[in-house]
Amino acid sequence: MKIYTKKGDDGTTGLIGGTRVNKFDLRIECYGTVDELNANIGMLNDLQEDKTIKTELEKIQNLLFNIGSILAADPKKNKMQLPSVAASDVEFLEIRMDAMTDELPKLKNFILPGGHVAVSAAHIARCVCRRAERLVVHLSKKDVLDAIIAQYLNRLSDYLFVLGRKIAQNLKITEILWNSPTK
């Protein structure tokens, strides 16, 4: 099987269910951004040595692939059984955030992304996640979409923020505090 079909040469792509849409369609922007997020989390995972973090990130990547397939389907014409996102997936992120937060110093200032490439990678993934969330919320106002997807992305961006802090702690990197310029 060849990877290319040439069907997209006209600027359209197919959704699961057969519907063809423009490559700039909001649904395509959504799952393309989720794919970008997944790639960034893959890079973040490559920078990890902590086995627990690696396992969590791989679990998240698999769930993001599920989300991408949901977003890639025409909600009216798709007949394929797609994977789902559950409330327990959101709860998993909350439990992990709470556990990491218990081990971190209390946050008293805004922090700047950076200090180590792995910390920066977590913040880049967080920013891409926020963009994916905004796009998914936009799509949900125009088309049928389970609200759990936006909720998961919202919680995932928070998780990635806390994870960035945890990675800094694990690496003994001092967090860079935001110093608001005074006049």
Q: Which residues pair with 157 in a beta bridge?
A: none
Residue 51 sits in a domain whose CATH number is 1.20.1200.10
SS3 109: coil
Q: Which residue has the tokens 């609200």?
A: 147
**In this predicted model, what pLDDT tens digit does every residue of 74-126 receive, in sequence order?**
888 888 788 899 999 999 999 999 999 999 999 988 999 999 999 999 999 99
> Does some domain include residue 155?
yes
- The answer to which of 74-78, 110-114, 128-132, 157-161 has the lowest mean pLDDT is 74-78
Residue 136, domain member (yes or no): yes
Strands 176-177 and 12-14: unpaired
Q: Which domain holds residue 146?
A: 21-73+83-103+111-177
Beta bridge mates, 12: 22
- Evaluate whether residue 182 is within a structural domain: no
The three-point CA angle 22-25-31 to 5° equals 115
Does some domain include residue 8?
no
Task: Indicate if the alpha-carbon torsion angle 67, 73, 76, 82 is positive or negative.
Answer: negative
pLDDT score for 51:
96
pTM reported for the whole predicted model: 0.93
Task: Pull the structure tokens for residue 83.
Answer: 């994977």
Establish if 120 belongs to a structural domain: yes
How high is the pLDDT of residue 183? 60
Indicate the number of domains in the chain: 1
And the tokens for 74?
């025409």
* Structure confidence by residue, pLDDT tens digits, 36-55: 999 999 999 999 999 999 99
Domain membership of residue 143 (yes or no) is yes
Residue 12 lies in a domain: no
